[in-house]
């Protein structure tokens, strides 16, 4: 349970122990361990320990972060003032002469943050590359003459930068001619576009093949694929729920889920991230009190969660949520954008990771962009559900279907994962990813960085906290030939800026070691090793991966 406010400055607060023990988790120094109780009715005991870390920073760090932002804001106001009075050059594009008396298109204040804080470190994002986004790529060198307002390409490329930013979990983003043989063939046969929607003339035999394969892979009755991952959520949630329904969505859900929920017109209530108590109390209140003004019963209640949360690296507590949903008769929509292919013994996602039955989840959704190196999304579940979506989904009626070479790439990746192509390459990739993840996380813990998230998730956020360090970190890593991704406000809370690493099965041990050594140096130089629990503390916690339940 992510509840850092219970721990403050390293002191353990014992008053919360009672509540926590009831639900089967124990909290120690900001590290949560979940002891799985036998709450799943199909009788299986999951013996895995659920270790998630959400350590809070020491107090001085929080203070310095606020100071940093304060300084940035003051300078921002100063700069704006100077710009308004003509003392400083305006670099932003301006409105046309003929349209100067129109209502202004942008409010000045909306862009305050963008103009003054984001602009300073803008060179760390949107970096163009010119090769396949595999474990290493070639970056185009960019310089700026006017402090990040405009960029200029020098024409040189920085070769073989280690890629710790792309979502290439299983390493399928490759250009090996042998591997892409079938894709090239389909490209030659089908061309690159479809020019029609699914319900009109855009349903190819390739789509039918792909859908059958997806259903088989996930172990469900039927599946439907869509052209774009983001759009899968925003176009299908409105088809499933409408007015008079209730959506319970996690605090940290992705924009696509939020947009889909908003477009549907249903009432949305938010529960704290991965917090089962919060969800249960919301469910009870919803059923007991009904709709807000009319007190009528809700038509349906849907819980929206993700498999792995991309900014936190935490994994959803699926067994508890499934038991809650059974008890209160709600429906569960699981978005496995990052977790499909990345967790689970054979790469089938969080459902397999927890050893559960795919029938427990009503709507399984995922995208092919991350682990499969292609593009698009799918929704899978019972046949009734998929039939309904075929007739009522916005995407099926108005949006073009997936293009054939992309479908072929997914088919070959899935066949490889399932072992249908005759090799064990798929399984090897999944295991390699697991090994890489655990190694990476263990070493980072040992070095003393604050890492968020579950021990098994390949998304590794490393906390930086202070705004100044965001820019410094990314630039220095690039100097060492390592490409990282840094995120700040508004994607994360304002004080918790972080660098996010995506471990891939294609990374070799040497690459990971290079990155770790660079991080070690940089951590000392930039003073990033905030964790109070480095090498010496609690080594036994990392060794224990099995729990025998006493009852």
Partner 1 sequence: SFQEKEELIEEWQPEPLVPPVSKDHPALNYNIVSGPPTHKITVNGKECINFASFNFLGLLDNEKVKNAAQASLKKYGVGTCGPRGFYGTFDVHLELEERLAKFMRTEEAIIYSYGFATIASAIPAYSKRGDIVFVDEAACFAIQKGLQASRSNIKLFKHNDMTHLERLLKEQETEDQKNPRKARVTRRFIVVEGLYMNTGDICPLPELIKLKYKYKVRIFLEESLSFGVLGEHGRGITEHFGVNIDDIDLISANMENSLASIGGFCCGRSFVIDHQRLNSLKCFNTLVLVSVLFNLRLQKCKAGTRSEDCLFYLDVFQTLQEKCKRIHRALQGISGLKVVGESFSPALHLQLEESRGSRESDVKLLKRVVDYCMNNGIALTQARYLEKEEKCLPPPSIRVVITVEQTEQELDKAASLIKEAAQSLLN
455: CB partners within 8 A, 6+ apart: 51, 52, 53, 437, 438, 441
Residue closer to partner 1 (CB basis): 217 or 333: 333
Q: How far is CA 10 from CA 5, 23, 55, 58, 442, in A?
A: 11, 23, 9, 8, 21
Residue closer to partner 1 (CB basis): 69 or 113: 113
Residue 239: CB minimum distance to partner 1, A: 8
Residue closer to partner 1 (CB basis): 189 or 442: 189
Task: State which of residues 47, 212, 329, 442 lies at the interface with partner 1 (CB under 8 A).
Answer: 329
Among 59-67, 125-133, 314-322, 541-549, the segment contacting partner 1 (CB under 8 A): 125-133
Residue 2: CB minimum distance to partner 1, A: 24
Pairing type for strands 31-34 and 25-28 reads antiparallel
CA distance 340 to 367: 8
Residue 320 near residue 275 (C-beta atoms within 8 A): no
Residue 536: CB minimum distance to partner 1, A: 35
Residue closer to partner 1 (CB basis): 199 or 481: 199
Q: What are residue 355's phi and psi, to 5 degrees?
A: 70, 35
C-alpha radius of gyration, the chain, whole number: 25
Residue 158 binds partner 1, judged by CB under 8 A = no
Residue 490: CB minimum distance to partner 1, A: 10
Residue 386 near residue 394 (C-beta atoms within 8 A): no
For residue 136, the Cα-to-chain-centroid distance in whole angstroms is 21
Among 48-56, 61-69, 96-104, 542-550, the segment contacting partner 1 (CB under 8 A): 96-104
Question: How many residues lie near partner 1 (CB under 8 A)?
Answer: 113
Residue closer to partner 1 (CB basis): 218 or 402: 402
Task: State which of residues 163, 314, 437, 531 lies at the interface with partner 1 (CB under 8 A).
Answer: 163
Closest by Cα among 248, 306, 326 to 281: 248
Residue 320: CB minimum distance to partner 1, A: 17
Residue 93 binds partner 1, judged by CB under 8 A = yes
Residue closer to partner 1 (CB basis): 307 or 377: 377
Residue 334: CB minimum distance to partner 1, A: 13
Task: State which of residues 105, 296, 540, 551 lies at the interface with partner 1 (CB under 8 A).
Answer: 105
Residue 330 binds partner 1, judged by CB under 8 A = yes
Tokens of 117: 């804080």
Residue closer to partner 1 (CB basis): 381 or 434: 381
CA distance 230 to 260: 9
Element housing 478 (H / E): helix 467-479
490: CB partners within 8 A, 6+ apart: 113
Task: State which of residues 80, 141, 174, 280 lies at the interface with partner 1 (CB under 8 A).
Answer: 174
Q: How far is CA 486 from CA 122, 167, 247, 323, 464, in A?
A: 11, 14, 31, 37, 9
Residue 70: CB minimum distance to partner 1, A: 23
Residue indicated by tokens 């259903």: 215
Residue 26 near residue 3 (C-beta atoms within 8 A): no
Residue 134 binds partner 1, judged by CB under 8 A = yes
Residue 136 binds partner 1, judged by CB under 8 A = no
424-463 exposure pattern, b = at least 16 Cβ within 10 A, e = fewer: eebbebbebbbebbbbbbebbbbbbbbbbbbbbbbbbbbb
Residue 391 binds partner 1, judged by CB under 8 A = yes
Residues 483-512 that bind partner 1 (CB under 8 A): 483, 485
Residue 521 near residue 482 (C-beta atoms within 8 A): no
Residue 220: CB minimum distance to partner 1, A: 14
Residue 22: CB minimum distance to partner 1, A: 17
Residues 37-76 that bind partner 1 (CB under 8 A): none
What would the x/- binding string for partner 1 be over residues 349 to 388, using CB under 8 A?
Answer: -------------xx----xxx-xxxx--------xx-xx
For residue 511, the Cα-to-chain-centroid distance in whole angstroms is 23
Residues 244-283 that bind partner 1 (CB under 8 A): 255, 259, 262-263
Residues 183-242 that bind partner 1 (CB under 8 A): 183-184, 187-205, 208, 227-231, 235, 240
CA distance 309 to 2: 13
Among 39-47, 394-402, 425-433, 508-516, the segment contacting partner 1 (CB under 8 A): 394-402
Residue closer to partner 1 (CB basis): 378 or 530: 378
Q: How far is CA 431 from CA 48, 177, 344, 346, 435, in A?
A: 17, 24, 9, 8, 6
Residue 260: CB minimum distance to partner 1, A: 10
Residue 298 binds partner 1, judged by CB under 8 A = yes
Residues 420-449 that bind partner 1 (CB under 8 A): none
Q: For residue 210, what is the DSSP state?
A: H
Residue 246: CB minimum distance to partner 1, A: 10
């Amino acid at each position: 349970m992510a509840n850092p406010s219970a721990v403050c400055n390293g002191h353990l607060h014992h008053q919360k122990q009672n509540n926590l023990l009831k639900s089967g988790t124990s909290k120690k120094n900001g590290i949560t361990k979940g002891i799985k109780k036998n709450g799943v009715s199909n009788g299986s005991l999951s013996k895995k320990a659920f270790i998630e870390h959400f350590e809070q920073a020491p107090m001085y760090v929080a203070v310095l972060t606020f100071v940093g932002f304060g300084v940035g804001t003051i300078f921002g106001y100063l700069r704006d003032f100077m710009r308004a009075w003509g003392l400083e050059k305006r670099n932003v594009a301006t409105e046309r002469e003929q349209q100067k008396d129109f209502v202004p298109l942008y409010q000045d204040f909306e862009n305050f943050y963008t103009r003054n804080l984001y602009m300073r470190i803008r060179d760390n994002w949107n970096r163009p590359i010119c090769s396949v986004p595999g474990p290493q790529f070639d970056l185009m060198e960019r310089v700026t003459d006017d402090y990040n307002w405009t960029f200029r390409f020098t024409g040189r490329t920085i070769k073989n930068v280690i890629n710790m930013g792309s979502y290439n979990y299983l390493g399928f983003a490759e250009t090996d001619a042998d591997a892409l043989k079938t894709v090239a063939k389909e490209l030659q046969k089908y061309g690159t576009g479809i020019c029609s929607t699914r319900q009109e003339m855009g349903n190819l035999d390739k789509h039918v093949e792909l859908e059958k394969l997806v259903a088989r892979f996930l172990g469900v009755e039927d599946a439907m694929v869509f052209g774009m991952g983001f759009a899968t959520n925003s176009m299908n949630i409105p088809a499933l729920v409408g007015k008079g329904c209730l959506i319970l969505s996690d605090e940290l859900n992705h924009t696509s889920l939020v947009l889909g929920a908003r477009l549907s017109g249903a009432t949305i209530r938010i529960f704290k991230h991965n917090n089962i108590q919060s969800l249960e109390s919301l469910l009870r209140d919803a059923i007991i009190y009904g709709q807000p003004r009319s007190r009528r019963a809700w038509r349906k209640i849907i819980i929206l969660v993700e498999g792995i949360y991309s900014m936190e690296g935490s994994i959803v507590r699926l067994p508890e949520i499934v038991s809650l949903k059974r008890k209160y008769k709600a429906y569960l929509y699981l978005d496995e954008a990052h977790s499909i292919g990345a967790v689970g013994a054979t790469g089938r996602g969080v459902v397999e990771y927890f050893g559960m039955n795919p029938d427990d989840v009503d709507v399984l959704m995922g995208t092919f962009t991350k682990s499969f190196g292609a593009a698009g999304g799918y929704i899978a579940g019972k046949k009734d559900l998929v039939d309904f979506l075929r007739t009522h989904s916005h995407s099926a009626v108005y949006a073009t279907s997936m293009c054939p070479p992309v479908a072929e790439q997914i088919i070959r990746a899935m066949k490889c994962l399932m072992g249908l192509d005759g090799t064990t390459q798929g399984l090897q990739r999944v295991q390699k990813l697991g090994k890489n993840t655990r190694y990476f996380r263990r070493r980072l813990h040992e070095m003393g960085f604050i890492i968020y998230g579950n021990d098994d998730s390949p998304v590794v956020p490393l906390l930086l906290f202070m705004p100044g360090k965001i820019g410094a970190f990314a630039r220095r890593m690039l100097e060492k030939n390592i490409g990282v991704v840094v995120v700040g406000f508004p994607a994360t809370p304002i004080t918790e800026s972080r660098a996010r690493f995506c471990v891939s099965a294609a990374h070799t041990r040497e690459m990971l070691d290079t990155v770790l050594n660079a991080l070690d140096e940089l951590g000392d130089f930039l003073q990033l090793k905030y964790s109070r629990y480095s090498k010496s503390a609690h080594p036994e916690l990392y060794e224990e991966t099995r729990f025998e339940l006493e009852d």
